Every structure is written in C-alpha cells, then in structure tokens.
Amino acid sequence: MLRGAVDRRNGARSGFSLTELLIVVTILGLIAGIVVLGSSAMLPGSHLSQAVHTLAAEVYGARSEAIARNQTYHIEYDIDAGSYQLITPFRPGGGLAREEDERLATKREEMPRGIEITRVTVDGIDYAEGKVRVRFDPLGTVSGHSVVLTQGEYESIFTLEVLPLTGMVRFHEGEFTREIPEEGDFE
C-alpha cells in the first residue's frame, strides 16, 4: 500500500499518452478508408443486381395480382425514360375500366442512376426505344418477354427473361435472346 502512495506522488499514472492516442486514431482512419474504398468498388455490381431483382419482384407481383383478381394487368416499360409502371384494370375512382385509356397506372418506377433499359423483346420482336406493354392474364400466362438492363459506366449487362406460360423469371448475365422454335425443330 505504501508503494502505491509513493508512485502517485512521483507522477506515475496509468493510461495512454496523447501520441499513443493519435497513432491509434490514425490507424483506425486508414482501416476505415480502405473498407470504404473496397466496398464502393463492389457497389456498382450490387446496384445492377438490385435493379434486376426489383424488376423481377414487379413482374411476379403483376402476375400474382392478375391471378388473384381474375383480371388482366400490364407492365409498361418506357425504354427512353428508363422506367416502368404497373397498369391495373381499374379506374382511378374505382370499378373496372371500360377503355384502355381509363386504366389506373401505379407510380412510375425509375431505374437507379447509371442503369438503363436498353432493349425489351416481346414475342421475338426487339424494341430499343419508346414504350412497350406486356400482358399478364388471369390464368397466369404472360407475354413472353425479356428486358436488357445496362450499367454503361461499368460495361455490365444483365437480361431478365419472363417465360410466357409460367411467368417464371430467369436471370442471364450479359445479353440473352431466346430463339423462337421453328416447325422443323420438333421433327
């Protein structure tokens, strides 16, 4: 006990010096910088992946609504604006729409910054501009189509393919076009 009292009187103390704390803070700052730079290099791919999966969820949702409500739904892709929206069979005030132009459309969903819709293929016909509508029937069938999303800055391309009979969604890295079968293919 006497020794502890003597140490305190001579100025001995426990803890870290200012120099030691500055070194630790500098090292932590360097580690944080490396983590941020490393994660930002991985983010571009995740933005495209997220856009593809969000669009796939919209497709599944449109098909499910068509089946559940026993009505025809559409998704309209606006290639030029890089967006899409769900077109319902209902009027804005309620009830079923009698005319196509009366149909209630949901809020237009924009592609994330740097990602664009470069091509939509419906039943073997390619569209590179304008608006394209695909159909979701109450029996679960869908206009067979594919959507090509491009992240130009990183030269990443992804294709979302929607199968016509089942409405199942398939993902393809790069541009993908399913060949339409011809009569001779079944011989």
Domain residue limits, the chain: 45-186
SS3 41: helix
Residues 74-105 pLDDT 10s: 999 999 999 999 999 998 888 898 888 889 99
The mean per-residue pLDDT over the stretch 122-146 comes to: 93
Question: By the 8 A CB rule, do 92 and 63 touch?
Answer: no
Lowest mean pLDDT among 28-32, 52-56, 147-151: 28-32
SS3 71: coil
**Dist. CA 108–CA 25, nearest whole Å:** 46
35: confidence class by pLDDT, cuts 50, 70, 90: confident
pLDDT, position 19: 84
172 or 184, which is more confident: 172
Residues 135-161 pLDDT 10s: 999 999 999 999 999 987 778 899 999
18 or 75, which is more confident: 75
pLDDT, position 179: 77
CA distances from 19 to 16, 26, 30 (A): 8, 11, 17
Q: Which fold has domain 45-186?
A: minor pseudopilin epsh fold (3.55.40)
